[in-house]
Structure 1
């Protein structure tokens, strides 16, 4: 409601300094009671002093109506009650005024000073009334009786309203503090929810990138070799049908293996979650890593020519990750595709954690795939170094010979994510990755991986 009591558009009540209808009714009722009390006491004061009744009752009633402004000016209400105290008026006015002042944020010394003034005035007025009462004079009462009664009246008129008002003020402050704390907690929960959503979004993006890397490792290398062998079949078919038939058979084996791995991976992605989302994502990521890891050694076995003989898959074929011991088979696979590639190993082989060997293997695999794509016909060199506390791999190729590529030779598409994926794998283990062209016009990929990535990251 507005200042005139009309309803507002929002439905909130507002009348002067009142914000609730029951507050208006309470203050109006207290003001009427106080006005009646002052008027009745004014009649007795007029009889005792001989003053005209109207001259005392009307100002007293107006003073009692001062409770209408107690919420806005509680100090004025107490001062009025002190002013009418000599006429033995304003008991309700003083009680309600002191209580209201004690509930506000007024300084305690101000409340104490006004309470003392009110209490002292009540003691004096009560003592004078008792001393001038003929009925009490006729009785034999001790000397201390009248001062004691006056003191009790003074304390009773001041202490209860002040203590009650201070209690209400403390309770209001506590409620406001709890409300502010609740609002603060609500804001913090909102921020935490936003951060949790950001972390979840980051986790989803990271999971998508990880899945993309795993699918790239599983499929891209094998399909690239299939394209190379298909080009070789096309080139040698008129001259050497037997060799073309062997290459065609090899392409079929590679295609079936790649299709099987792709179906398995898509099955993992489509699987319904059996538990919490975090556990499902972790299990899917673990399964995808296992599938990608198992592709390495299987590729080498499938890519061998019939003249070399089929060998059973290595450890990776049993579900373990690709190992550095499979680099020779990986190099032989590239040689079978027509690449001139040499492998050099320095230092003594040690047992590394599976993720270290798998990452080093993937770097070499992806680097050789890039040579097939971008430098067909160029010679390549693979170097593996076992060092103290780390393992290093390097793949370097010479400048591609443009004349070596036939116009009808198939060109391999490139998504541009191979180097990014290698860098992400190596840096995730705390290693270093460098790639770029060489001075001779070729390309070099180098990676150094700590042999204990967990301890190195923790240090």
Structure 2
């Protein structure tokens, strides 16, 4: 035998393909059946040649050729059955008939062809059996049986030779197709599970990135404003230390107060994160995304408990900027009321970051802070004029900028379904506006 290619078996390994056989044991089985069938047909061919006055070698050679056809039963089962039907009158090829009908029924041949060839084989076997049983009865010295004997016995022989291999082949074929279907479904499910695992990993990566962004935004909002005011006061302290000691002492006290406030807010946030991590350690080791989700939930709970800043603290926030030398006006419209903790904190952080940006980029500029309580929303706007080149000593503070302030404000507002707009004004200043829904 020569190889014609390769294929992958059920385990995924590459297997050698021999003509139409997938495995070597299939070759051994078919060749063995071919030898048995050839020997049977040769024996029966010799008997047939003796009855018909033909040379016995011709009958034997014919039987060998006919019997060896069974080797191609997997590739051409219809041909094997047709050959067995054609040789039925010569009373040869019983093994070929049984194996051929089984192979035909177990294959993917249409059912109408299986039924047609089975009927032809049954008819041919019935006729030959009827003639043979009739001859045996006539040659017997015993009393003649009833007229029913010959048809009944020939029917039993025909049905016994034809139907069992057909039924068994149909069962094996159905079972094979079921196994292939289950294997395909298993492969499909394995692919789906692989895709789900990849998507879960992507979602976990996204959650980790979101959590890092959230923590960075919180750190920026808590530290940037306080430290910026501290730097401004420190610069003013340096400028007036020798000229006005009393004002220097006052500025030093303000720097200390703001530093303590910054530390307090930082401790509160880190405490929430540590609490979330402690809860996770008590349960079981989990991915970073789960820790981030727990921290976010803990932060929300802390906000609901009133631990974070609120809109009511905006006036204090504006006062701190005034103490740093900034000219700030605060205008409030509408009656103040309670909002969701997330809305309260976001409104506070937007105004806080806008004031921090004025300290960094527009020292000495006048600032207008507007806060409007509307029917179903709260709006805020922080607008500063053009920077004052000779203003308040803040220009010498050299405050660094990370470029993330506006990005963080936009993310906060959009996360709550609000609207955020920022940009330069015609007068050379800058304006930050945000609108947050009530709930």
TM-score with structure 2 length normalisation?
A: 0.90
Residue aligning to 2:379: 392
The match for 1:3 is 3
Question: Is residue 236–residue 393 contact of structure 2 (8 Å, CA) maintained in 1?
Answer: no
1:68 maps to 71
Please give the residue correspondences for 1:336-355 in structure 2 after superposition, counting only pairs within 5 Å: 336-355=323-342
- Which residue of structure 2 lines up, in the alignment, with residue 304 of structure 1? none
Question: What is the aligned partner in structure 1 of residue 312 from structure 2?
Answer: 325
Would the aligned equivalents of 2:3 and 2:16 in 1 still touch at CA under 8 Å?
A: no
SS at match of 1:38: helix
- Match of 2:92, SS state, is coil
Contact 2:364–2:394 (CA under 8 A) maintained in structure 1: no
SS at match of 2:15: coil
Q: 5+ unaligned residues in a row in structure 1: which ranges?
A: 294-315, 453-459
Q: Give deviations 1:378-436, integer Å, cap 9, x for gaps.
A: 11111111101111111111111223365972121111111111111111111101111
1:189 equivalent in structure 2: 193
The 5-angstrom pairing of residues 292-303 of structure 1 reads none
CA distance in 2, matches of 1:207, 1:52: 95
1:243-392 equivalences in 2 (<5 Å): 243-259=247-263, 261-262=265-266, 265=269, 271=277, 273-274=280-281, 275=283, 276-277=286-287, 279-287=290-298, 320-392=307-379
1:186 & 1:242 partners in 2: Cα distance?
Answer: 77
Where does residue 434 of structure 2 map in the other structure?
Answer: 447
Q: Provide closer, same or farther for how the CA distance between residues 126 and 286 of structure 1 changes in structure 2, counting only shifts above 3 A.
A: closer
Give me the TM-score of the superposition, normalised by structure 1. 0.86
Partner deviation per Cα, 1:242-290 (whole Å, 9 max, x = no partner): 1102211321333344345546655766756413445532232345668
Give secondary structure in 2 for the equivalent of 1:12: strand
Corresponding residue number in structure 2 for 1:426: 413
Q: Secondary structure at the match of 2:17?
A: coil
Contact 1:364–1:393, Cα closer than 8 Å, also in 2: yes
Helix, strand or coil at the partner of 1:416: coil
**Which one of the candidate residues 226, 230, 239 is aligned to 1:226?**
230
Q: Give the match for residue 238 of structure 1.
A: 242
CA distance in 2, matches of 1:190, 1:12: 25
Q: Is the 8 A contact 2:235 2:394 kept in 1?
A: no
**CA distance in structure 2 between the partners assigned to 1:254 and 1:11 by the alignment:** 72
Distance 1:407 1:221 in 2: 14
Equivalent residue runs for 1:406-421 within 5 Å: 409-421=396-408
Matches of 1:175 and 1:56 in 2, distance apart? 44
Shift of 1:224: 0.2
Equivalenced residues, count: 424
Match of 2:131 among 128, 131, 146: 128
Q: Summarize deviations over 1:309-356 as a string: whole Å, max 9, x none.
A: xxxxxxx9x852212111111111111111111111111111111111
CA deviation profile, 1:196-221 (whole Å, cap 9, x unmatched): 11111111111111001100111111
Quote the residue 1:203 is aligned against.
207
Is the 8 Å Cα contact of residues 131 and 137 (structure 1) preserved in structure 2?
no
Against the structure 1 CA distance between its residues 421 and 290, is the aligned structure 2 distance closer, same or farther, given a 3 Å change threshold? farther
Classify 1:107/1:279 alpha carbon distance in 2 versus 1 (closer, same or farther; 3 Å): closer
Cα distance change on mapping 1:131 and 1:344 into 2, 3 Å: same
Measure how far apart 1:46 and its partner are.
3.1
Name stretches of at least 5 consecutive residues in structure 2 with no aligned partner.
6-12
Larger CA deviation: 55-64 vs 365-374: 55-64
> Taking structure 1 as reference, are residues 116 and 54 closer, same or farther at Cα in structure 2, changes over 3 Å only?
same
- Contact between 1:211 and 1:288, CA under 8 Å: does it hold in 2? no
**How many angstroms apart in 2 are the aligned matches of 1:30 and 1:183?**
35
Alignment partners' CA distance in 2, 1:448 and 1:19: 71
Closer, same or farther: CA 49–399 of 1 in aligned 2, 3 Å: same
Q: Contact 1:340–1:377 at 8 Å: present in 2 too? A: yes
Q: 1:408 and 1:162, CA in 2 relative to 1: closer, same or farther beyond 3 A?
A: closer
Look up the SS of the partner of 1:409 in the other structure. helix
Which of the pair has the greater relative contact order for Cα pairs under 8 Å at 6+ separation? Answer: 2
Distance 1:89 1:217, change over 3 A: same
Which runs of structure 2 are paired with 1:12-23 in the superposition (5 Å)? Answer: 12-23=15-26
| SS at structure 2 position matched to 1:320 | coil
**Contact preservation (8 Å) 1:360, 1:393:** yes
Please report how far the alpha carbon of residue 38 of structure 1 lies from its aligned counterpart in structure 2 after TM superposition: 1.5
Residue 349 of structure 1 contacts residue 386 of structure 1 at CA under 8 Å; is this kept in 2? yes
CA distance change for structure 1 residues 290 and 160 in 2, over 3 Å: closer, same or farther? closer
